[in-house]
Amino acid sequence: MVFLSTLWDFIQTQLLGMAWLNLAVGDVLTTLGLDITTQLGGSLQFFIYDVLKITVLLCTLIFMISYIQSYFPPERSKEILSRFKGIWANIISALLGTVTPFCSCSSIPLFMGFTSAGLPIGVTFSFLISSPMVDLGSLVLLMSIFGWKVAVVYVILGLIIAVIGGTLLDKLGMERYVERFILTASQVDISLPTLTKKDRAIYAKDQVVSTFRKVFPYILVGVGIGAIIHNWIPQDVIEAVLGSNNPFGVIMATAVGVPMYADIFGTIPVAEALLAKGAQLGTILSFMMAVTTLSLPSMIMLRKAIQPKLLGAFITICAVGIMIVGYFFNAIQYILI
């Protein structure tokens, strides 16, 4: 048991957390004559280390997940989902969302395709909620920062939000608020090509290049914000706004996150810095969930497919679910960290 615990600590700190890289960056900066104990030096070390760490994890994860994703093209996903009914359809839909695109804007076209194919509205919304919120990449990245307990509970609760949210929208009979052109879109059955392992590897590599180009700017912005928080903003300020003394911190974090646009890779360094400064875990995770699930650009895209009443119901259900999760994490933070 001691061996397994030691092995996991090594994986957590050295492989996922890349503590060795942080030390190496600090040594290089010190060799170059920069004092890393100063605000400027500490910020530069944080920035370089986090950019390198997230880039390595990003590329590795995208390749692995894209390779898995090659077995679940939209046509096959529709075929799989059509086999299930009731709550099981929502659960399978939410699980399929974990191996699909990394941001809500990428998920919306798939959501439209599933809806056009005649899948129940609740099932398609379960997919739409889970896809950006709880992809496999978020699981590994959260493990690298917060540990496996936080990562696993986060993913489980994210899937629960997706299943409950989709089920509620279905029970409310919101199908009538889907734009008519989506419901009447013609469907063409396309035979699925048989891909070789080489084809899948090429597809995964192309996805790495494409996704990296899209998200890298957000990584730079997120790490830059994280570096400022980590080294320039006093801890008492963060604790006053997002700490345990502010019962409205979760609500504030959710509200601030909604108008922003980023993905899990851009929000992780901000979350890391906020936690180090005394922000509550649930408050941070609420911010991350709001940014990845309810970003303003994705809501604008979604409005083209659904009417305001359905969009409002979707936003309300997601926001309430996110805040409940935030307060829950705050309540059990002492157990997880």
293-308 confidence digits (pLDDT tens): 887 777 887 888 888 9
DSSP state of 176: G
203 occurs within a structural domain: no
| pTM confidence score | 0.79
Partners of residue 178 on adjacent β-strands: 306
Total domains in the chain come to 1
Which of the 8 DSSP states describes residue 243?
A: S
91 vs 9, which has greater pLDDT? 91
End-to-end CA distance of the chain: 20
Does 23 map to a domain?
yes
pLDDT in the model for residue 334: 85
Predicted confidence at residue 298, as pLDDT, reads 77
Say if 45 falls within a structural domain: yes
- Residue-wise pLDDT for 57-79, tens only, equals 888 888 887 888 787 776 777 77
Residue 230 belongs to a domain? yes
Q: Identify the sign of the CA torsion 73, 79, 85, 88.
A: negative
User: Does residue 208 form part of some domain?
Assistant: no
Domain of 292, in residue numbers: 2-185+215-336
In a domain, 197, yes or no: no
Q: Dump the DSSP string for 13-61.
A: IIIIS-HHHHHHHHHHHHHTT--TTSHHHHHHHHHHHHHHHHHHHHHHH
pLDDT at 58: 80
- The packing angle between helices 281-293 and 121-133, to 10°, is 120
**pLDDT one-digit tens code per residue, 158-217:** 899 999 999 998 888 888 888 877 766 555 454 556 778 888 899 889 888 887 888 788
Query: 34-43, 101-110, 273-282, 295-304: which has the minimum mean pLDDT?
Result: 101-110
Chain segment 240-270, per-residue pLDDT in tens = 888 877 889 999 988 887 766 666 677 888 8
Whether residue 205 lies inside any domain: the answer is no
Q: Does 234 fall in a domain?
A: yes
